C-alpha cells in the first residue's frame, strides 16, 4: 500500500507561525523546521503572485531529499479575479482591465505567457525532484459546460509534463448525472481529481460532494473543514471559511476511504487547509494551529488502523 503523505496547505499561516514553530524562529527557518515533521506541503502563496525562480530555489534548498511541494496555480491561470498589480510590471501594459482595475478577458496568448512564466519559475523544484502537482482550483462560478471543458483541455496542454490537480468548486461537475463524465474527462486529460472534505450544505452550489475516486496514479485529498456557518457568510474571509478543528470521529470517517485510495494509487496525499487556531482538546488553556493538529490527529488514527502514513508525528501545542 502506498504510504499516505500528510501535510498542510501552507507552512506560513499566522496560526502556524504563532503556535507551531518554536518562539523566535526566523521566517527563513520555518520551512526547514516544517520539513522535519512533514514530507509534503502545498504552496498557496503562488495563487496571489507569480513565483520567481530565486524564491523557488530557496524552497528546494531548505527541504530534504524526497520532500514534495504541490504548488497552487496563479489566479489568472484558473480564471479567478486578478488585479492588475498582481501581475509582473512588464505584463501590466498589455493586460485588458475593467473599471475596477481587474484583468478582464485576457487572450489565450496572454494567459499562455503567464503559464509559461509560472512553469519556468518552478524549475528548481523540478530539477530537485521535489515538484508535486499544480493545484488547479477552479472558482465556484466556473460551471460544467463545453467552454469550461475546452479551457481545462487547453490549460492542461500549457502545463506540459507537470501534474495537474483539479479541484472543482461548483456542484455541476460532480452531481450525480455528471459525475462519471467529469471523472472520465479528467482521466483522458491525465489530470488528478482532487477529493475534498467540506461542509454538507443542502442546496449550496459552491460545495461539491466528496467523491473518493482516482483519475490518475495520484490520490489527493484536501480537508477544508466542515464549518457550515461560515462557508457562505456574507463578507466572510477565507480564514473564517476554513476555521475548523476536526473532531476525531470525523477524521476517523476517512481511515477506510484513505486505505482504499492508497491501495489503488501510486502516490497519496492528505492536506489540511484549516488556517486558524483553536483550544487544544482536553487542555483548553492551550491553543493549537488547526492544520497541524488535524494532521497529527489523522496520523494517529491511520497508525492505529495499520494504514502506512508519514507526516504529523508529534503534538503541536506550544
The answer to whether residue 259 sits within a structural domain is yes
* Cell numbers describing residue 253: 470517517
135 or 239: which leads in pLDDT: 135
Do residues 290 and 281 touch, judged by C-beta distance below 8 A? Answer: no
Its domain, for residue 209, covers 4-310
Residue 317 above 90 pLDDT? no
pTM of the model: 0.95
316 located within any domain: no
Evaluate whether residue 141 is within a structural domain: yes
Asked whether residue 209 is assigned to any structural domain, the reply reads yes
Asked whether residue 26 is domain-assigned, the answer is yes
Residue 23 lies in a domain: yes
Q: What is the pLDDT of residues 190-241, one digit of tens each?
A: 999 999 999 999 889 999 999 999 999 999 999 999 999 989 888 777 778 8
Domain count, the chain: 1
In a domain, 318, yes or no: no
What Cα–Cα distance (Å) separates residue 171 from each residue in 36, 208, 213, 252? 38, 5, 16, 25
Residues 6+ away with beta carbon under 8 Å from 167: 135, 136, 137, 138, 194, 196, 222
Q: Say how many CA atoms lie within 13 Å of 272 toward its Cβ.
A: 32
Contact 57, 120 (CB under 8 A): no
Q: Is residue 315 part of a domain?
A: no
Nearest to 137 by CA among 103, 109, 173: 173
CATH number of the domain where residue 244 is located: 3.20.20.410
Q: How many CA atoms lie within 13 A of 230 on its CB side?
A: 15
Other Cβ atoms closer than 10 A to 10:
21
Rg (CA), the chain: 19
Amino acid at each position: 500500500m502506498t504510504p499516505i503523505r500528510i501535510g498542510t496547505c501552507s507552512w506560513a499561516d499566522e496560526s502556524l507561525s504563532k503556535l507551531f514553530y518554536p518562539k523566535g524562529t526566523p521566517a527563513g527557518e520555518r520551512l526547514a523546521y516544517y520539513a522535519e515533521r512533514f514530507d509534503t506541503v502545498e504552496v498557496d502563496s503562488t495563487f496571489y503572485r507569480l513565483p520567481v525562480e530565486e524564491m523557488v530555489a530557496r524552497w528546494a534548498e531548505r527541504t530534504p531529499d524526497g520532500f514534495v511541494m504541490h504548488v497552487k496555480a496563479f489566479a489568472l491561470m484558473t480564471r479567478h479575479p486578478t488585479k492588475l498589480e498582481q501581475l509582473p510590471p512588464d505584463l501590466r501594459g498589455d493586460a485588458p482591465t475593467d473599471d475596477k482595475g481587474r484583468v478582464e478577458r485576457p487572450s489565450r496568448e496572454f494567459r499562455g505567457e503567464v503559464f509559461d512564466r509560472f512553469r519556468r519559475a518552478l524549475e528548481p523544484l523540478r530539477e530537485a525532484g521535489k515538484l508535486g502537482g499544480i493545484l488547479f482550483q477552479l472558482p465556484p462560478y466556473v460551471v460544467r459546460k463545453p467552454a469550461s471543458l475546452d479551457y481545462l483541455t487547453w490549460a492542461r496542454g500549457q502545463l506540459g509534463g507537470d501534474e495537474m490537480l483539479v479541484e472543482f468548486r461548483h456542484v455541476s461537475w460532480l452531481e450525480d448525472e455528471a459525475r462519471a463524465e467529469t471523472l472520465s474527462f479528467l482521466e483522458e486529460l491525465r489530470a488528478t481529481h482532487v477529493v475534498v472534505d467540506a461542509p454538507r450544505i443542502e442546496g449550496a452550489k459552491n460545495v461539491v460532494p466528496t467523491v473518493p475516486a482516482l483519475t490518475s496514479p495520484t490520490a489527493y485529498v484536501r480537508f477544508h473543514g466542515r464549518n457550515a456557518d461560515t462557508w457562505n457568510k456574507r463578507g466572510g474571509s477565507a480564514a473564517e471559511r476554513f476555521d475548523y478543528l476536526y473532531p476525531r470521529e470525523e477524521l476517523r470517517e476517512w481511515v477506510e476511504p484513505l486505505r482504499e485510495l492508497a491501495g489503488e494509487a501510486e502516490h497519496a496525499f492528505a492536506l489540511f487547509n484549516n488556517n486558524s487556531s483553536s483550544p487544544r482538546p482536553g487542555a483548553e488553556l492551550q491553543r493549537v494551529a488547526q492544520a497541524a493538529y488535524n494532521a497529527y490527529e489523522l496520523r494517529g488514527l491511520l497508525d492505529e488502523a495499520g494504514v502506512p502514513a508519514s507526516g504529523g508525528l508529534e503534538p503541536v501545542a506550544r
